[in-house]
Amino acid sequence: MKQAQDRRSTRLSISIPVVISGVDIDGSDFSEGVRTQVVNKHGGKIATTRRLKLGAEILIENPANGKSANSKVVWLDVNQSPDGMRSVALQLMEAQNIWGISFPPDDWTTDLREDPPPTRRTTP
């Protein structure tokens, strides 16, 4: 399991209303208003009533700022809450602050490479 210091960007526990849309596990198109549970520059966790499939492409729209972004399902909670909600982790296809966080953590605004190239050593 990844530790907090190993994450690509700082996670924030915050409830933001967004709209997700895509195709559910049954092949039906859907659009649903949901709330985030956790967000970062690379994605977030939401709770949905929809049954989704790992790898499914999901459009996230933030009505508050008019931004939208493509994402994919990277984790599904096996447990369902009594109200029929299930947690789902979405990874943004392009890292960005779609969430409208006014004062994002420093690591949301730095332009560090995800995977730095290996360094070559030369012998003198």
Confidence of residue 65 (pLDDT cuts 50, 70, 90): very high
On average, the pLDDT of the chain sits at: 86
The per-residue pLDDT for 67 is: 97
Look-up of token digits 């969430």: 99
CA gap 34, 47 in Å, rounded: 7
Domain spans, the chain:
17-96
Structural fold of domain 17-96? Thrombin, subunit H (2.40.10)
Give the Cβ contact number of residue 83 at 10 Å: 7
**This prediction's pTM:** 0.80
What is the band of 100 on the pLDDT scale with cuts at 50, 70, 90?
very high
| pLDDT of 110 | 66
pLDDT in tens, 10-45: 999 999 999 999 999 999 999 999 999 999 999 999
